[in-house]
Amino acid sequence: QEAGAVVHEWFGFLIFLIVLGLVQLTIWLLERVRAAQSRAAEAAPTPPAGDCSLLDYKRAWGATAAVAIVAAGVAWATTRIDAQQTNPRTGVKLAADGLNPVALPNFIGLEWAGQNAPVTQIERDTLPEDTGFSRKNYISLSDKNQQVFLSIVLSGRDRTSIHRPEICLVGQGWTIRRAAPHHFSVSRLPGGPLRLPATVLHIDREVTTRRGEKAVLPALFAYWFVGSDRVVGTHWERILHSTIDRLRTFQNHRWAYVVVQTHALDGEAAALKRLQEVVDATLPAFQEEGLKD
C-alpha cells in the first residue's frame, strides 16, 4: 500500500515528462517534414499566381473546428454519464440496510459450518464508503482442514468498488499460474438447474509452516460478476456490458463481485469439487433467479 501511494504521487510528474517529450518529438518530426517540403518546393517550378493557400487555411480551420466540436461533445457526454443516478436493482439479494448483500447462511446442510470473515480495515479504507460486503469462511465439519472462502463485494455509486481480481491476488503475494473459463452447476434453484459462468485462477504462493520451513501453497480462486440482469464470468465482459448499458440507458448498475477460494493441497480436482459443493448450496441464498449469462 505504501509503495502504491508513492507511485500514485510521483507518476503524475512522470506522465508530464513523457507527454512533453512526445510533444517535442512530434515538433522535431514536423520540422523535418517541413524542411523536406521546403527543399522540394524550391526545386519545383514556380506555381501560378492563383495558388490554393487560402483553401489550405480553410481546411485547417475546418479541422480545428471539428476537433473542438468533438472535444466539447465528449466533455458533455462524460459529464452527463458521470452524473447519472445509480440503478437500485441488483442481481444479488440485499440485507435490510439496502447497502450490503444479504448475510450468507451459517450452515450448509450437515457438512459445512460458516465462520464470519470480517472485512479488513485496509479494504474499508481503500474501497469507496458505499461498497457492500458479505462473506464467510466455510469449514468442513468432518475435516477442519477443508475450508472454502466465499465473498461478495457489491459496488455502490462509485464504480471503483469492483476491479480485476488478478490485481489484488498479485498484491497479496500470490502467483497466477493460469486462468481458465469454467461453469459451475447449480441444481438447487427452484426454477431449475443453472450453468454459472466463472473464471478459475490456478494460483500458489510461498508460506512458512509451523516448523519454520518454506513451502508452496497451491489454491484455486474462482470468480464471477453479477449485474442487475445478467451474470458474466470475466472482467472484460462486465466492462463491456456496463459500458453498453450506461451509454444506451444512462443507468449505473450495481455490479457484485463473487469469489470462492480454497487450497489445493489435496489436488485441483478435490479443490474444484469443494468449490462446486459450496457454490451449489449457497447460490440460491444470495443470487437472484432469472439472470442470463
Dump pLDDT digits (tens) for 169-214.
888 889 999 999 999 998 877 667 788 999 999 999 998 888 888 9
* Dihedral sign for Cα atoms in the order 278, 135, 253, 287: positive
Asked if 100 and 154 touch (Cβ cutoff 8 Å), the reply is yes
pLDDT averages per 10-residue partition of the chain, 293 residues: 79 84 89 84 64 63 84 78 68 90 92 91 85 94 93 84 84 91 85 86 90 91 92 91 76 85 94 95 86 65
Residue tagged 522535431 (cell numbers): 28
pTM (two decimals): 0.72
